[in-house]
Amino acid sequence: MFKVDSILRLVGRTPMVRINKLADPNGAELWAKVEYLNPGGSVKDRIALHIVEGFERDGLLKPGGTVVEATSGNMGVGLAMVCAVKGYKAILVMFDKASDEKRRLARALGAEVVICPADVPADDPRSYYSVARRITDETPGAVLANQYHNPANIQAHYETTGPEIWEQTDGRIDALVAGMGTGGTITGAARYLKEKKPDIKIWAADPYGSILKTYKETGEITEGSQYLVEGIGDDMVPGALDLDLVDEIANVSDEESFHVARMLARQEGILGGGSTGTIVKVALDVAAAMRPDQVVVTIIPDTGERYLSKLYSDEWMRLKGLLSQEMMTLQQLAQLKSQELPGIVSADPRSTVREALDQMATYNVSQLPVLDGPRNVGSVKESNLLALALEEATVLDRSVDDVMGEPFPMVEESSSVTRSIQLLIEHPGVVLARDSQPVGFITRHDVINYTDKS
């Protein structure tokens, strides 16, 4: 056990946790840096501390001074915590869409909270940027933290997040997947990591409705649209974001984001916010497309406890029309899959291992149920078959029933996806049955890949 002389000493040095069940077993190792384990519950603690200490060093913040910020919430909590310890006043300007929990948290830590509309352009005098600027100008001894344009934001991640990721992966990292709010996390961490290993791929996850993906790909500033995920995506290009360091951007819908966040909580025990879902969705896809000897790191920016009345509330999700995947049956899921794969792809127990491997390669799958007519008799996995064949090449000519494993469990296709989750946690796949006859096969990965496209 250790003890520290101030809560602020606990900012940073967050642990990295392996993503086990949700990650494709044939893809890269996937690790999540759990930023909600910072004492203020988000990645923003790092920059709140760095920015305030920068103001102190530069003589901009004197005892009794005030720190003002426009913030979607987490920066406010971080700043409120830092100001509470250091004896400054914090005035936080928040969007009206920021969750109630975030406002209450900032107030609990002694900050003053001012609410502004989210649906006005950044240059409107009612926008949260404009209001924060006006309050700073009108308050004696006040400084604007200005996380969207303050170089100390990038610097905090360059000096802490980047080196921590490098050290925690022993330099093995091949790809980083992060979100872009102010852009500080991805820019600072990517700058450090690319200096260490220039061919690291930097992926950004961006909500549909944000302008950043289009801007990166076309150079055009388009009109953004509203989305429900908080903390990431923009309707302008922040000064703390260097898009030259970002190799690829993938868009994710609110529905996909919230669904993945809920799965991450239920299956990995990692309770992140909505943006966690956006980012982890991209990280799962990126890792699945890479090799098992490669390493992908992703960021969990904040805690899901801040969204209990939102994405973790079934009522709220239903109200927003976002719960369809929970009502989905395995049959509906199989139909989505059958647009890419014919009916049920299986192996015959009398076929050879070589034929089973060919079948997997043809359909780009890594496991198959073994069916003897209508009987579900066993299972084969590409990784096991290849390992056996490496040891003894003649295995390729043996019959499947000589080497197959236990059959996958059978479930009636009318069962709901949600009710089958526990089985899919225990087994990599399930065989779907209609009147006890096998008619389809669903894997864990299908649940992630297809349920959020409903």
Ligand X SMILES: Cc1ncc(COP(=O)(O)O)c(C=O)c1O
Per CB under 6 A, residues contacting ligand X are 42-44, 72, 74-75, 179-186, 230-232, 273, 275, 301-302
Candidates 100, 301, 75, 99; CA nearest to 91 is 75
Q: For residue 425, give the H/E element and its range.
A: helix 417-426
Closer of 42 and 367 to ligand X (Cβ): 42
- Please, what is the minimum distance in Å from the beta carbon of residue 220 to ligand X? 21
* DSSP per residue, 64-128: T-EEEEE-SSHHHHHHHHHHHHHT-EEEEEEETTS-HHHHHHHHHTT-EEEEE-SSS-TTSTTSH
Confirm whether 44 is a catalytic residue.
yes
Q: Which is nearer to ligand X, 166 or 307 (CB)?
A: 307
Nearer to ligand X, 32 or 417 (CB): 32
DSSP strands (E only) in 260-315: 295-300
The residue (of 184 and 378) whose beta carbon lies closer to ligand X is: 184
For the bound state, the minimum distance from the C-beta of residue 71 to ligand X, rounded and expressed in Å, comes to 7
CB of 371 to ligand X, least distance (A): 45
Contact 195, 278 (CB under 8 A): no
Q: Which residue of the chain is nearest ligand X when measured via CB?
A: 231
CB of 43 to ligand X, least distance (A): 6
Q: Which is nearer to ligand X, 78 or 429 (CB)?
A: 78
Please state at what angle helix 254-263 crosses helix 274-288, rounded to 10 degrees. Answer: 80
CA distance 61 to 52: 8
Pick the closest to residue 442 from 411, 418, 396 (CA basis): 411
d(CA 347, CA 370): 5
- Catalytic: which of 33, 44, 201, 281? 44
Residue 203: CB minimum distance to ligand X, A: 14
**What angle, rounded to 10 degrees, do the helices at 74-86 and 44-57 form?**
40
Catalytic residue list: 44
